[in-house]
Structure 1
Amino acid sequence: MTSLSPRHSAYFADPFILKHQDRYYAFGTGRSAREGRAFEVLTSADLQHWESLGGALLPVPGFENGDYWAPEVAFSEGKFYMYYSVGHGDKGHHLRVAISATPEGPYEDQNLNLVSGEPFSIDPSPFQDEDGQWYLYYARDFLDGARVGTALVVDRMLSMTELAGHPQVVLRASQDWQIYQRNREMYGQTLDWHTLEGAFTVKRNGKYFCFYSGGAWINDTYGVNYAVADHPLGPWTEPFDHASILNTHLTGLTGPGHNSITVMPDGQDGIVFHAWDEERTRRQLYILPLLWTPEGPRVEGTAVLQGSE
C-alpha cells in the first residue's frame, strides 16, 4: 500500500498543469464538465487546494458526443492554445487546436486537423525552445518494423496552428514492458501492439529530456521513462531500458503515467501524473518532486520511493 495521496480526488487523467501569473491551471481527460464543455479545468495557488472552473473546451461540431483526450496548453503572444485529440472511442483520433483569451477558457476549436492523413494521432505536447521556436510532440501509429504500435514523433511548428509536416521519430518501442496488448486486432491484423505515448519535453542542464509513458494505461504495466537529446528534433537516446521514472514498483500506485512537468511554488520541478485509485475506477492527479542528479532525473517524495531501487 502506498503512502501517496492524490491532489484531487475526482477522475482526472492525462493531467497537464499550466502556470500563469502565479496561479496553476490543471487540464485533464475525464467526464464531460459543466456547460457541456470538454476537459475540466482546475485552478490552485499552491498545487494543494484546487477549485473547479468547469469545462474548458467548447464542443467540436461533429464530435458533440466524441471522446476528447489529453489536453495541453501553450501561451504565446497573449493567447492560450489548447492542443488535444478527439475521436470516437479509440478510433479516428486526430490532433486539433483551440484558442482562448484566458487560461480557463472557453477554448474555441479552430476547425483544423493538424495531422491530416494520419489514421490515429494522440497526445500533442507543445514545447518552446530557448530561441523561441515551437515544436509539437505527439504519438502516432506505426505498422512497420519489429515492434509495431503507437510511438513518438516531433514536428516543427510554423505557427501555433500549423505544423511543418515533416515529423521526426523520437522513439519507437524497443522493450517488452512497452507492450500494450498481445494479439490485438488492429488494422485488419492480429499484432503484439506496443504503446509509447504522453511525450513531454523540457530542457535542463543543456540537454533536452523527453519523458514518455509506455505499456497499457489500463493496468500496472504502465510507467514513465525518458530519452535525452542535444536538439528538440533528436536524435534521442534512452539511458534506461525500463520505466525508470515512474512505475508501480517505485510508487506503490497502479499505472502511474502520462506525465507533464511544472515548476512548483518552491521553484523545484514537479512531475504531474495520474494513477488509478484502489478500486481502479478513477485515474487521479498526483504531483511529486522531480530531482536532477548527475545520473539523470529521478522522483522522490515517499518512503516507498526512497526505499526502492
Structure 2
Amino acid sequence: MAEYVNPVYPATFADPFVLRHGGFYYAYGTAPGNADGRAFPVLRSPDLVHWEPLGHALVPPGGTDFWAPEVAWHDGTFYMYYSAQGIDGRDHQLRVATSTDPAGPFVDAGVVLVPDQPFSIDAHPFKDDDGQWYLFYCVDFLELEDDHRVGTGIVVDRMTDMKTLEGRPRMVHRPHEDWHLFLNQRTMYGKVYDWHTVEGAAVLKHDGRYYCFYSGGAWEKDNYGVSWVVADHPLGPYRRPEEGGRALLMSTLQGQLIGPGHNSFVASPAGGETWIVYHAWGPDRTGRRMCIDRLRWDDGRPATDGPTASPRPAPV
C-alpha cells in the first residue's frame, strides 16, 4: 500500500488551498514571490502526495504582500480570491483575479471585494448544491458583544456574481476562547487590545448541515489549531460545539508539527475519502509546510488523526 509522510512538500507553502480539476490537484499557497514578480506558488499532483512546482500563479496589481489564495472554477473561468497589502496605501484588502488555466497566470480584475472594511483577508468561496456561491472572509471586530472578544473574525456574504458580493455580510464566528489569543496588549486602530483571532474558513456540507472549519490563535505559535461551527444554511446562524476550550479537530503535535491550520478540503483520487490539507511548522520553525490527513466522521462529528508525522496510507 502506498504511503505518505508529512509534510508532503518540502518548501514553504502556507495557507494551502487545493483545487481538483481535469484529473489533477492544483495547490496554491502563501510564500515569498518569484523573481519575475509573480505571487503565490502553484503545485500540481496526481495523488495529493507527489507535487510538481509550476511556478507562481498571480500577476500582482501592485502591492507589497499577498496572502491566502483560493481558486474557484465557474463557467470555464478560474477565479482566484486573495488579499493584497500596499495597494493605494491600504492594509490587506480582498481582491479577485481570473485565468483560463488553473496554473495561471491569474490577472487581477481590478475589484476590491469589501471596500468598506479597513482590513479583510482569507476569502473562501463556497458553492452550495443549488449553484449559489457564497464568500466567507475575515474582518476585524472592535466591539465587545456577548462573550465575544476583540479581534479578527469570520463573516459570510452571498455572491451576486463571481466578482461581486451582495453587501449584506452575516457574522459566522468571532473569537471567544482563551486559545483564540493572538497577542496580549496589541496596538491596533490607535488603541491597545488583548487581540484574539479566528480565521481561515473552510466549509463542508455533511448530512444537510454546513460545517465552517476555522483556525484560531496565533499563526506562529503552538496554540494555533483547527475547530468548527455548524449551521443549517450557509448564511447561518452558526452554532458552536458543546465542548469548547480547545481546538477540537487538530492542534500542535509537540516537537513535530506545530500550529497546524488554515486548511482546505478535497476528495481523494477515487472520490471516496475527504482529505484535509493544512500547513504546520516543523521543529526548526523555518517555514510553514503543506501537510495532509484523512477526515472522517465519528458519530456525526468531524475527526482526524492529524496532525500526523509518521508514515500513513496514502489517499485512494
Confirm or deny that 1:102 pairs with 2:101. yes
One-letter amino acid of the structure 1 residue matched with residue 257 of structure 2 = L
- Relative distance call for 1:247 and 1:111 in structure 2 (3 A) is same
One-letter amino acid of the structure 2 residue matched with residue 265 of structure 1 = P
1:57 matched to which residue of 2? 58
**Once the 2 structures are TM-superposed, how far is the Cα of residue 35 of structure 1 from its aligned partner?**
3.0
2:297 matched to which residue of 1? 292
SS at match of 2:179: helix
CA distance in 2, matches of 1:303, 1:42: 21
CA distance in 1, matches of 2:41, 2:253: 30
SS at match of 1:138: strand
SS at match of 1:177: helix
**Once the 2 structures are TM-superposed, how far is the Cα of residue 294 of structure 1 from its aligned partner?**
1.4
One-letter amino acid of the structure 2 residue matched with residue 292 of structure 1 = W
1:73 matched to which residue of 2? 71
Runs of 4+ in 1 over 3 A off after TM superposition: 249-252, 301-304
Q: Map Cα deviations across residues 57-92 of structure 1 (whole Å, 9 max, x no partner).
A: 0021x31xx110000000000000000001149x71
SS at match of 2:111: coil
1:28 matched to which residue of 2? 29
1:275 pairs with one of 267, 277, 280: 280
**Once the 2 structures are TM-superposed, how far is the Cα of residue 205 of structure 1 from its aligned partner?**
1.4
2:206 matched to which residue of 1? 204
CA distance in 1, matches of 2:203, 2:212: 4
**Once the 2 structures are TM-superposed, how far is the Cα of residue 279 of structure 1 from its aligned partner?**
1.0
Q: Which runs of 5+ in 1 are unaligned?
A: none
CA distance in 1, matches of 2:225, 2:56: 28
Confirm or deny that 1:248 pairs with 2:247. no
Q: Are 1:34 and 1:55, in contact at CA under 8 Å, matched by a contact in 2?
A: no
CA distance in 2, matches of 1:194, 1:290: 27
Give % identity. Answer: 52
2:81 pairs with one of 67, 80, 83: 83
CA distance in 2, matches of 1:203, 1:215: 25
Q: Are 1:13 and 1:284, in contact at CA under 8 Å, matched by a contact in 2?
A: yes
CA distance in 1, matches of 2:282, 2:161: 39
Q: Are 2:256 and 2:309, in contact at CA under 8 Å, matched by a contact in 1?
A: no
CA distance in 2, matches of 1:251, 1:4: 16
User: Cα RMSD between the aligned structures?
Assistant: 2.0
**Once the 2 structures are TM-superposed, how far is the Cα of residue 264 of structure 1 from its aligned partner?**
1.3
- Relative distance call for 1:251 and 1:235 in structure 2 (3 A) is farther
Q: Map Cα deviations across residues 154-176 of structure 1 (whole Å, 9 max, x no partner).
A: 00000000000110000111111
Confirm or deny that 1:130 pairs with 2:129. yes
**Once the 2 structures are TM-superposed, how far is the Cα of residue 251 of structure 1 from its aligned partner?**
9.5
Q: Are 2:255 and 2:283, in contact at CA under 8 Å, matched by a contact in 1?
A: no
Equivalent residues, number: 300
Q: Are 2:202 and 2:265, in contact at CA under 8 Å, matched by a contact in 1?
A: yes
SS at match of 1:110: strand
- Relative distance call for 1:161 and 1:52 in structure 2 (3 A) is same
**Once the 2 structures are TM-superposed, how far is the Cα of residue 187 of structure 1 from its aligned partner?**
0.7
**Once the 2 structures are TM-superposed, how far is the Cα of residue 33 of structure 1 from its aligned partner?**
2.6
- Relative distance call for 1:200 and 1:251 in structure 2 (3 A) is farther
SS at match of 1:111: strand
One-letter amino acid of the structure 2 residue matched with residue 100 of structure 1 = S
CA distance in 2, matches of 1:95, 1:52: 25
- Relative distance call for 1:69 and 1:303 in structure 2 (3 A) is closer
Q: Which runs of 5+ in 2 are unaligned?
A: none
1:264 matched to which residue of 2? 268
